[in-house]
């Protein structure tokens, strides 16, 4: 095999809670992560050295300052890591066809890195299983192991402890992202300054629903939560306004993903979600808006 092409799916956080903090400063999470059908395409070809090219298909802030074409890119770092691990002297030519908005709370960089790890394992016939790939992935970023496994999972620790879950029942997702970049570090620092009260373990509740008998859109929507939303929405009130607008347009539930600024709404009806998407584009003409769906682990190629 001399070349390979892989879809790298985005993720949203159906729940995101912070349960503590390690001595080294890393926050401990409890989050149900879900892949969605917005994806980058990662092309890999055997080469003597590592090279990377970014091709952007939308206007969602995907400049080379945001998505660099050199060793700063996590996809490049993934290639270096696995080639070194395998003792391979050759390299790889990487072309990232970017569709996932950058700096959006959608794991766009992490899913590209996961695709590079999986792709190079196939390209060079390494035969690394998902466990081995996840061991490498966590060295690159907390979301990378999930992006390797795909589908739906409860993520704990710093994101490295994963429990694979059955995916929710079918829903239509409206995804929107304003052309602003949110600093994840600043969001977590602002969260640390808050007085946090006890709250219901909605991650656990949704896990039980998915494990027992699946969860329909109403059940999932009743469990949506993100402890970082308050912090990010203080900085960008429009994020909360967008979530509210989605509910007005018929979403069963709407929430910010990750540290933001992306917002998603869950809809039961295809006609309704498409009308809502058109309305959001009119209300927020500068936003990236699209309709997508859940991706199960078996679809994560």
Catalytic residues: 11, 143
Residue whose C-alpha is closest to residue 44's, from 84, 75, 89, 9: 75
Task: Give the separation between CA 116 and CA 94, rounded to whole angstroms.
Answer: 8
Residue 90 CB neighbour total at 10 angstroms: 13
Q: What residues have CB less than 8 Å from 193, skipping those under 6 apart?
A: none
Q: What residues have CB less than 8 Å from 41, skipping those under 6 apart?
A: 5, 6, 7, 8, 96, 97, 99
What's the CA dihedral at 106, 232, 18, 10 to 10 degrees?
0
Please answer whether residues 127 and 120 qualify as being in contact, where contact means their C-beta atoms are separated by less than 8 angstroms: no
Consecutive H or E run containing 219 = helix 217-223
Please answer whether residues 231 and 194 qualify as being in contact, where contact means their C-beta atoms are separated by less than 8 angstroms: yes
Q: What angle do CA 135, 42, 184 make, to 5 degrees?
A: 60
Task: Give the separation between CA 263 and CA 251, rounded to whole angstroms.
Answer: 12
State the helix-helix crossing angle for 130-137 and 108-123, rounded to 10 degrees: 130
């Amino acid at each position: 095999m001399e070349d390979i092409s892989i879809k790298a799916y985005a993720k949203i956080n159906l729940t995101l809670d912070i349960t503590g903090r390690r001595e080294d400063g890393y926050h401990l999470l409890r989050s149900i992560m879900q892949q969605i059908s917005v994806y980058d395409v990662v092309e890999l070809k055997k080469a003597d050295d590592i090279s990377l090219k970014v091709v952007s298909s939308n206007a969602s802030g995907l400049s080379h300052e945001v998505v660099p074409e050199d060793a700063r890119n996590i996809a490049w770092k993934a290639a270096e890591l696995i080639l070194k691990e395998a003792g391979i002297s050759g390299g790889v030519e990487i072309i990232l066809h970017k569709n996932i908005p950058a700096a959006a709370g959608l794991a766009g960089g992490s899913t590209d890195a996961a695709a590079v790890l999986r792709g190079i394992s196939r390209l060079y016939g390494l035969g690394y299983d998902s466990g081995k790939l996840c061991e490498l992935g966590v060295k690159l970023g907390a979301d990378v192991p999930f992006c390797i496994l795909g589908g739906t999972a409860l993520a704990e620790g710093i994101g490295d402890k994963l429990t694979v879950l059955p995916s929710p029942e079918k829903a239509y997702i409206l995804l929107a992202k304003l052309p602003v970049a949110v600093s994840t570090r600043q969001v977590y620092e602002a969260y640390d300054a808050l007085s946090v009260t006890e709250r219901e373990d909605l991650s656990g509740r949704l896990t039980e629903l998915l494990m027992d008998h699946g969860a329909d859109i109403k059940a999932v929507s009743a469990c949506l939560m993100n402890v970082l939303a308050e912090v990010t929405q203080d900085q960008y009130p429009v994020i909360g306004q967008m979530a509210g607008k989605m509910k007005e347009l018929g979403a069963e539930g709407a929430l910010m993903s990750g540290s933001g600024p992306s917002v998603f709404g869950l809809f039961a009806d295809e006609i309704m979600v498409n009308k809502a998407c058109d309305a959001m584009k009119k209300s927020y003409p500068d936003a990236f808006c699209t309709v997508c769906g859940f991706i199960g682990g078996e679809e994560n190629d």
